[in-house]
Amino acid sequence: MERPGAWRASLLLVVGLAACGGTAPTESTPSPAEPAVEANPLRNAYFGDLHTHTNYSFDAFMNGTRNTPDDAYRHAKGEALMHPAGFEVQLDRPLDFYAVTDHAAMLGMLRASQDPTQTVSEHPDAVVVERIRSGELTGAERAGAYASIRAYTLGLRDGWLDETVVRSAWQDIIEAAERHYEPGQFTTFIGYEFTGSPENQNLHRNVIYRGSQVPDMPLSRIDTFNPEELWAWMDLNREAGMEALAIPHNSNGSNGLMFAMETYDGAPLDATYAETRLRNEPVVEVTQTKGTSDTHPALSPNDEWADFEIRPYRVGGNRPSQPSGSYVRDAYLNGLRLEEQLGVNPFRFGLIGATDNHTGATYAREEEYFTPSGQPQPGVSVPFETTRPDGSRYGTGLGVLNGAAGLAGVWAEENTRESIFDAFRRRETFATTGPRIRVRFFGGTGYADDLTSAPDMIATAYANGVAMGGELVAPAETPKFLVWAVRDPLSAPLQRVQIIKGWLENGESSEQVYDVACSDGLSVDPDTHRCPDNGSTVDLTTCGISDDVGDTDLLTLWSDPDFDPTERAFYYVRVLENPTCRWTTWDAIRAGVEPRPDTPATLQERAWSSPIWVIP
């Protein structure tokens, strides 16, 4: 884009003391070479995935995944990877950065249970793991066996956990990240997933480390479900030089807990809580395979694009998840209110996307979608309406709600751990549902009306305003917002760019969606704030699209016609492609059947920027 409880007392102390030593590079974990790259002060767009699982995760291993962290990193760099269902998957382009984030709970234990040299292989339930994977157990038997194994991940039963196995797995994850880090070419991050989930109310976070200094053991759900205790542990480790951030994901499945207006224990939120959360969680996953967490039709009834890849269930079952407290835009609105009350906003998140794939792989495009676990499902693994051994049908369960999403985008000076991590810290990040749409977003009161034609447009945008993730404090006049979106050349053309505004007026929150740039030379209607239809179509018999409409890039300088300098507000960008086929429609075409009537035949791939906040 060059264009112009017990844990609180004892375990926390033990972990804190262990963290002071950390895991420094040794002969077995070689320190990455210094990057020999020239930094770009105007920053480059980099794409990656900070959420993938390998055979060290208990659920991935049970579902047949045998790919290792080394396999995962090779896949991210462009190599083909064998899916557990027996076919190869490969990205259409390598990624710029990647992180293996296996579940800390029972890390490596199920893999060890199938190794006769490991003591845990003698456990009575070890044989159940292979019976689940092989498909020998079906229906209620499978559900019961799976629940039995999951009980160990909750710390409800003894007999499985072997700290030696966990430490060995964690060390292997560290070493793989170190081996594959190529500063300037490909960045790896050491990380893991913390999976607190009381009654399947999702409070999961991915913990990502800035460098090679990491704790000796990851904190897991066996230690605590409470994310506030995770933040306390991270703060202790940070004092010992282990800089990290936690990334919440699947808030849509949290049943209102992820962005609750009270603490984990039910106390009112205070400034200390807000500051601690803001320090430890600067970004959030807004889209991934288990649904999109931007907003919900019940929360944003006037947003025609709110009903997008909604998965209205708690993670790990079919119990409903209430919308309030579960979606990011709702949290942004509540954050304005909390900032007015507490002086600090705990919900000032930047946005990223991810996949949460449990095969070591990541997604490419809708037509190449594959099951995120090792179990077969419609499409490339089995025919669309194949009968399972227990008589049920593939494609009739919750798996049809999965999506081929997403990716994290950052604007960073160079492709290194330090530069990309710092972009997360300042929230100069964006999310996509898979396509590599690039979006830039700036705001300021010092922008000239001809900024979009200036040869030094980006330099001026930085110098006279703030980038996405930043704050405009007490603007003396109506700010202007610079928005620039560029199409992924391997995906559909762009249809429109929108700015989503949320504000607080007399203690009440409101939101508004403004179309700010239209494709094909069309103009925004000043009354409806909407672009006209650009006439794009999708042929549902072939999934062919009308590639002669839509734009390669959309660039505009926009001012809010309803700006009030006395109101707290946030603004973020949503970019929409022309409609294309959803993966379920691609599957139906390959199988020679009609697309499912209960599933959208098409979707509009999209990207979101992190917000800019206006502080009166």
The reported pLDDT for the residue numbered 382 is 42
Find all residues with CB under 8 Å of 551, minimum gap 6, and list them.
Answer: 487, 493, 494, 519, 520
Q: Is the pLDDT of residue 128 over 80?
A: no
Residue whose tokens read 């950390």: 22
The reported pLDDT for the residue numbered 397 is 64
Phi, psi of 142 (to 5 degrees): -65, -45
Find all residues with CB under 8 Å of 184, minimum gap 6, and list them.
Answer: 35, 36, 37, 414, 415, 416
Q: Is the pLDDT of residue 588 over 50?
A: yes
The reported pLDDT for the residue numbered 327 is 98
pLDDT band at 376, cuts 50/70/90? low
pLDDT band at 371, cuts 50/70/90? confident
pLDDT band at 24, cuts 50/70/90? very low
Q: Is the pLDDT of residue 279 over 90?
A: yes
pLDDT 10s digits, 240-258:
999 999 999 999 999 999 9
Determine which of 20-29, 77-86, 426-435 has the lowest per-residue pLDDT on average.
20-29
Determine which of 372-386, 459-473, 540-554 has the lowest per-residue pLDDT on average.
372-386
Q: Is the pLDDT of residue 307 over 80?
A: yes
pLDDT band at 119, cuts 50/70/90? confident
Of these ranges, 54-63, 105-114, 138-147, 345-354, the one predicted with the greatest mean pLDDT is 345-354
Q: Is the pLDDT of residue 552 over 80?
A: yes
Q: Is the pLDDT of residue 453 over 80?
A: yes
Tell me which of 48 and 369 has the higher pLDDT: 48
pLDDT 10s digits, 561-587:
999 999 999 999 999 999 999 998 988
Say how far apart CA 399 and CA 596 lie, in whole Å.
Answer: 13
pLDDT 10s digits, 316-347:
777 899 999 999 999 999 999 999 999 999 99
Instruction: Kindly report the number of other CB atoms within 10 A of residue 426's CB atom.
Output: 18
Helix residue spans in 485-611 (DSSP H) = 583-591
Say how far apart CA 173 and CA 72 lie, in whole Å.
Answer: 11
pLDDT 10s digits, 161-176:
788 999 999 999 999 9
Closest CA to 29 of 219, 180, 149, 134: 180
The reported pLDDT for the residue numbered 28 is 35
pLDDT 10s digits, 592-601:
878 878 789 9
Find all residues with CB under 8 Å of 452, minimum gap 6, and list them.
Answer: 4, 482, 555, 556, 557
Q: Is the pLDDT of residue 396 over 60?
A: no
pLDDT band at 20, cuts 50/70/90? very low
Tell me which of 371 and 433 has the higher pLDDT: 433
Say how far apart CA 314 and CA 466 lie, in whole Å.
Answer: 37
The reported pLDDT for the residue numbered 110 is 87
Determine which of 9-18, 295-304, 452-461, 521-530 has the lowest per-residue pLDDT on average.
9-18
Residue whose tokens read 């994310």: 227
β-bridge partners, 194: 205
The reported pLDDT for the residue numbered 369 is 87
Average pLDDT along the chain: 88
E strand or H helix at 273: helix 271-280
Q: Is the pLDDT of residue 86 over 90?
A: no
455-459 contacts at long range (C-beta below 8 A, 24 or more positions apart): 455/4, 456/4, 457/3, 457/4, 457/482, 458/1, 458/42, 459/42
pLDDT band at 37, cuts 50/70/90? low
Tell me which of 378 and 215 has the higher pLDDT: 215
Question: Is the preceding peptide bond at 406 cis, omega within 30 degrees of 0?
Answer: yes
- Region for residue 250 given its phi and psi (left: phi exceeds 0; alpha: psi -120 to 50; beta: otherwise): left
Find all residues with CB under 8 Å of 360, minimum gap 6, and list them.
Answer: 52, 53, 54, 55, 60, 65, 67, 68, 69, 71, 72, 75, 81, 100
User: How many angstroms separate the first and last alpha carbons of the chain?
Assistant: 32
State pTM to two decimals: 0.91
